[in-house]
Structure formats: structure tokens, C-alpha cells
């Protein structure tokens, strides 16, 4: 349990950030570069679409703010029965 005044390690946050950067450079960027100006589906989830849409929205907001994704745009949409994570090269 965490209490006020406790210290914690935040390596897990760095790991998530590195994972996103790696995924962007190794997978998503290639997909978006081959379809400039068009929204490309980068991930699909159908288990719990409300939860997935929230997670994708958070990820899109974060990625839209990072310097290394300059020139790329991200968005989350819900198309029943799926939640979609989209990206495009502007």
C-alpha cells in the first residue's frame, strides 16, 4: 500500500513509454507511411469495448503529445463490436 511520504520506483512508466516508442517505430509507422493522410487501423479489441476505447483514447492522447510522433495523429473509435486504435500520417 502506498502512503503519503513513501518513495517508489517509476521504472514501470519508463518501460511503457519505451514500449510505445518501439511499437510506433517498428510497427505502426510503417503502416501509416504506406497510407498517408488515411486513417489506418493499428489495433482492434472486441472483449470489453468500453474499457478498450478508454485505453485507446488515453494512448492516443499520450502519443499525440510526444515529440517522436510529430507528423502523425492518433485516435480511438468505437465501431461495434470493436474498439479501434487508429493512426495516420498528416
How far is 39 from 32, CA to CA, in rounded Å? Answer: 8
Q: Is 90 helix (H, G, I), strand (E, B) or coil?
A: coil
CB within 8 Å of 29: residues ≥ 6 apart: 72
Q: What is the pLDDT of residues 33-90, one digit of tens each?
A: 998 899 999 999 998 889 999 999 999 999 999 989 999 999 999 988 999 999 999 8
pTM of the model: 0.77
Our measurement of the distance from residue 73's CA atom to the centroid of its chain's CA atoms, rounded to an integer in Å, reads 10
Q: Which helix (H) or strand (E) holds 87?
A: strand 82-89
Using the structure block, give the residue that is written with the C-alpha cell 497510407: 35
Amino acid at each position: 500500500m502506498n502512503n503519503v511520504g513513501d518513495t517508489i520506483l517509476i521504472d514501470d512508466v519508463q518501460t511503457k513509454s519505451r514500449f510505445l516508442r518501439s511499437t510506433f517505430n517498428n510497427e505502426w509507422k510503417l503502416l501509416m507511411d504506406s497510407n498517408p493522410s488515411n486513417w489506418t487501423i493499428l489495433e482492434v479489441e472486441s472483449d470489453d469495448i468500453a474499457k478498450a476505447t478508454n485505453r485507446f483514447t488515453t494512448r492516443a492522447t499520450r502519443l499525440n503529445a510526444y515529440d517522436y510522433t510529430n507528423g502523425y495523429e492518433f485516435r480511438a473509435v468505437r465501431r461495434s463490436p470493436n474498439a479501434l486504435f487508429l493512426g495516420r500520417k498528416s
